Amino acid sequence: MSSRRRRQKKGLVSDINVVPYIDVMLVLLVIFMVTAPMLTSGVTIELPEASTEPMNIETNEEPLIVSVRTNGELFINVGGEETSPVTLGVVKDRVMKVLAARPQTQVQLRGDTRLDYGTLMQVMSALQDAGVVSIGLVAEAP
């Protein structure tokens, strides 16, 4: 009888072993920490430094990014990689098409530090002609 009572007193163990979940979480954390810097898309440009606070972006849509290199080459990022330079007319045409489909799209302009001011003004003028109301200028924190 005593052995029967001992068996009845032992119940099922309902503890969850969380050690494997912690290991998986740490591995995922390391993977995201390594890959996050690689996710910044765009052409390599030496951005100017500015000590202002970053603007709050309220929309969940990706911004349309126009990049200008020192030699005046233009690149536009519309949902993909910007691998080949385009002309000012192509930038204007693509921006108009994007704004026609999504009017709330934010347009950001990235210009190299050594870029000529006149070239930057030509690009901004073309973006305004395409219907852009507000242009965000991208800079790095010092």
Q: Which CATH class is domain 64-137?
A: alpha beta
The rounded mean pLDDT for the chain is 80
Helices (H) and strands (E) in the chain, counts: 4, 4
What's the token pair of residue 76? 């536009």
The pLDDT-based confidence of 15 (bands split at 50, 70, 90) is: confident
20-49 residue pLDDT tens: 899 999 999 999 988 887 776 666 666 667
Residue spans of the domains in the chain: they are 2-39, 64-137
The pTM (predicted TM-score) of the whole model is 0.59
What's the token pair of residue 114? 């050594």
pLDDT for 117: 84
Residues 6+ apart with CB under 8 A from 109: 65, 66, 67, 68, 120, 123, 124, 127, 135, 136, 137, 138
40-87 residue pLDDT tens: 666 666 666 766 666 565 656 788 888 888 888 898 887 666 678 888
Beta strands 107-111 and 135-137 are parallel
Contact 48, 139 (CB under 8 A): yes
The pLDDT-based confidence of 111 (bands split at 50, 70, 90) is: confident
110 forms beta bridges with 67
Count of Cβ atoms closer than 10 Å to residue 125 Cβ: 12
